[in-house]
Chains A and B, each alone.
Chain A
Amino acid sequence: MFSMRHWAYITIIFTIALIVVPSLIGVVILLQLAQEITTSQIINALSSVMNSLVVAGLVTIINILVSIPFAWRIARKNDSLSKFLDFILDAPLFVPTAALGFSVLSFWSSGYYSLNLISPGFWLVVLLHFTFTHPYIVRTLIGVIRSTDLSVEVAAKSFGIKRAALSRTIYLPMLKAGIIAGALISFARSISETGATYVVAGPFETGPVFIKNRLSVDPGSAAFAAVSLLLVSIFIFFIIRRISRRRFLPLHPETKIEKMIGLKTAFSINIISLLFFAVMILIPSFYLVAYLSPGATCDWASLTNSLLLSTIIALAVSIIDLFFGIPLAYYLARADSLLRDLVEALVIVPLIVPTVSLGTSLGYFWGSFGLNPVIAIAFAHLSFTFPIFVMSYTAAIESIDPELELVAQSLGADTIKTYREITLQLTKSAIASSAVLVFTRSFGETGATISVAEAMAAEIYTLPLLLVSWIKKAQAGLIPFSTVAIASFITLIIGLLMMAVIKMAGGKRGKYE
């Protein structure tokens, strides 16, 4: 009889064949590029990798701190502010990364009415990375919080545990899966992002920027950096996974400090996380809109075509991700074996490979089969969106008590029916959040898409590629910036509307909330 397990095994084969192997073959192609490289090349490559790690680590830690209260508020308070934040939250992901880099640069550094605060370099890279990693952590956390049973909280409160201690002993352990998954996705995104970072880095070189700079002139160094980045990241992922298996917040009585932290502090934490979102994330992401001027216009036909192309790709990618990702996530959440750990490590790989090198190698790989470039781009999008979906949804399933499933089976439901009637029902909103992440990621991706198109010598304009080409033209003075601004603005509005539809389809809240 067909069971969840069979479905999961089929998925594993799919994942390995279509996602992991092509990405790994890309790495092998890169390795072949590496001729004998000198010690100084090695040192340069490694220091860029080091830079990436520092940025990714810093960004992830700060993100977690500000995201927990933020996600909590959105998931648990059902007022209009929450609804608005839920709606606007993913917005930065709709700005194609190259445009995002330009926008952040304009806001903080040099541009129209700009702040002129921070010049390109390390800190600007950090600020940029906040904008596109923040939504991942918050989305993943919201999915987990909404899937969590409220009764634990109520029970704990009835034992007289006060707010701060409640966070440590009850909430944080409940959110552990979500925090870890969100952190891993955010870390991986930061480690591999190329398109936007390139714009704001100035003389500072992260791993991917280093790779992009050397890919044509010094492929040996680039390949060495790409492989080191990959290995170091896999190692860090492995360590985080290991540590996270342990219970990390001890159960001891309320401490003095916790007694002092009252509602007032919680309130100001909320304000801080809201301010952070507005000033560090939202405004910089959309600063491009400042270039909007009355009567601005653009090439509507190209814009419509690109919009359609990007939507179709993102939709197809999301559906395939869901179809294969659901059983795989279920397997990862419930199995406990060496194969499981191996599959998990493999699934993450395409997320960590810097998008430029991923795109280039996938372009060569699928090109050698004579694949249609649009389909090749969709495959590339599958590789880096699939891990995002799987990790984020796995976290949601992990937060569901497995005993519920076991009881359902014992009452007479086989594994598929149990999934359909118990697990799925309890994780609907998490599927919707994860789908939002995947859709937006595909919709706004620049680096890998450009590389695939270049590697296959194809003239393809997804929406981000169109915007990038317009930004370049605007910088060269060929077209006004207002063109870019209006195109970005329209992209944003349409993107947000599509997200609203997906979220509604997922049913925002479970019945019992």
Chain B
Amino acid sequence: MNKILEVKNISKRFGNIQALRDVSFDVEKGEFVFIVAHTNAGKSTLLKIIAGILEPDEGEIYIEGENITKTPPWERPVGYMPQTYALFPHMTVLENVMFGPIHRGLDREEAIEKAQKYIELVGLKGWEKAYPHELSGGMQQRVALARVLAVEPKIILLDEPLSALDALLRVKLRGEIKKILKGKTVLWVTHDQEGAMSLADKLIVMRSGRIVAVGNAMELYYKPTSLYVAHFLGEINFIESVAHGGFVQILDTKVSTDKIGPVVIGIRPEDIKIVKNNSSPLGRVKELRFVGGFWRLLVDVEGIDLVVYSLKRIRSKEVSLRIHPEDVLVFDYPPEGIRRAVHLE
């Protein structure tokens, strides 16, 4: 184990708002860790506390085993890139990127050299003399990235680095950033689940200031630990049911379970197969929508509405559906009801 960052029991309150509650997790050397959460979950607050520009009410931060909770931000080996980029408007690209190295003790020549290296790495060679307002959003984002890389921190904290960009650019830059950051230790915060799952070595899901799940992206998607996580990471059908005798039933599929009494069955829309077989249960297609690349159907089967994805266009009014038992998730019925259990605060 080679832990770079350890966050231990961090809590933070702003007046009446409990922004963070008892948050703990680790980041290992070279790991790409994503924190995903809805808006106002406390993501930025957490990064600011790690960067040292906010003080936690409780808890500690360790970097390579050393407690830095009381260390001022300028002495922390941490690179923080804020949600707004916050490029210095009165400085050129080169001056922006040099700022860190100069203040971390390099002399001018070395700082310029280092800055140029990272400006080149992010693909902005030739733009050294430009001012931030002369650059496009995507370019500004790269300058911010170069600026944080140039201090060569032990861990890089990125606060929604892509949120200010349009959708196409976002996908393009997502891949590029991953390439630029290869081998570095990164903690990336976002509310974009898809982006996070495509890049993360480790995924941390937060809800209202609390960590609700930690794990590998695929694991959390297919074997979520709670209704909330299942719902948050992608579209899913929830069906109320009752388990007895070690089984629950969905359509004609029997799934074995150790739960007893009221349960919630979860099944992802892509795991419901449309088949030609007449023996499978028949459903009426209530809605059909093209969502780019595939079709999203709402099918009424025996009084239950199911969302189903299909790669092919469905022309008939009725379809037969089949569900494999291993794709079915079974959760205890939440005492507060399904709606509230998955509610995004």
Contacts and interface: CB of A to CB of B under 8 A. Distances in A.
Interface string B56-90: 00000000000000001110101110101010111
B99 A410 contact: no
B219 to A, nearest CB: 33
Interface string A481-513: 000000000000000000000000000001110
A256 B26 CA distance: 55
B100 A411 contact: yes
B79 to A, nearest CB: 7
B133 A410 contact: no
Contacts of B103: 408, 411-413, 417
B295 interface: no
Interface in A135-164: 149-151, 154
A412 B131 contact: no
A417 B73 CA distance: 13
Given A151-B132, A403-B82, A512-B133, A410 B53 contact: yes
B73 A409 contact: yes
Interface in B289-342: none
A151 to B, nearest CB: 5
A410 B75 CA distance: 8
Contacts of B148: 411
Contacts of B105: 412
A258 interface: no
Interface string A400-424: 0101101111111110010001100
A410 B89 contact: no
B249 to A, nearest CB: 51
Nearest to B82: A403
Residue of A151, A403, A411, A510 most packed against chain B (CB within 10 A): A411
Nearest to A149: B89
Interface in A367-425: 401, 403-404, 406-414, 417, 421-422, 425
B51 interface: yes
B66 to A, nearest CB: 18
Contacts, number: 77
A332 interface: no
A409 to B, nearest CB: 4
Interface in A455-485: none
Given A409-B53, A412-B103, A510-B90, A151 B76 contact: no
Interface in B146-179: 147-148, 151
Contacts of B102: 412
Interface string B223-250: 0000000000000000000000000000
Given A151-B133, A403-B84, A417-B103, A410 B90 contact: no
Given A151-B89, A406-B73, A409-B73, A511 B80 contact: no
Contacts of B209: none
Contact of A411 (B72, B84, B131, B147): B147
B86 A404 contact: yes
Contacts of A512: 89-90, 131-133
A426 interface: yes
Contacts of B76: 410
A403 B72 CA distance: 16
A414 B102 CA distance: 12
Q: Kindly name the residue among B52, B78, B89, B132 whose own CB sees the greatest number of chain A CB atoms within 10 A.
A: B89
Contacts of A411: 74, 99-100, 103-104, 147-148, 151
Contacts of A410: 51-53, 73-74, 76, 78-80
B191 interface: no
Nearest to A414: B74
Give the interface centre of B72, B80, B90 by most chain A CB atoms within 10 Å: B90
A143 to B, nearest CB: 16
A414 B73 CA distance: 8
A425 B88 CA distance: 10
Nearest to A148: B89
Interface string B109-133: 0000000000000000000000111
Interface of B: 48, 51-53, 72-74, 76, 78-80, 82, 84, 86, 88-90, 99-100, 102-105, 131-133, 147-148, 151
22 contacts: A149-B89, A151-B133, A401-B84, A401-B86, A403-B84, A407-B80, A408-B88, A409-B53, A409-B74, A410-B74, A410-B78, A411-B148, A411-B151, A412-B74, A412-B99, A412-B102, A412-B104, A421-B99, A425-B90, A426-B89, A510-B89, A511-B90
Given A403-B86, A421-B99, A426-B89, 10 more contacts: A151-B89, A403-B82, A406-B53, A406-B82, A408-B99, A409-B53, A410-B73, A410-B78, A411-B100, A412-B103
Q: Which 10 A-B pairs have the closest CB atoms?
A: A412-B103, A411-B100, A403-B86, A406-B53, A410-B80, A412-B104, A409-B73, A413-B103, A407-B86, A410-B73
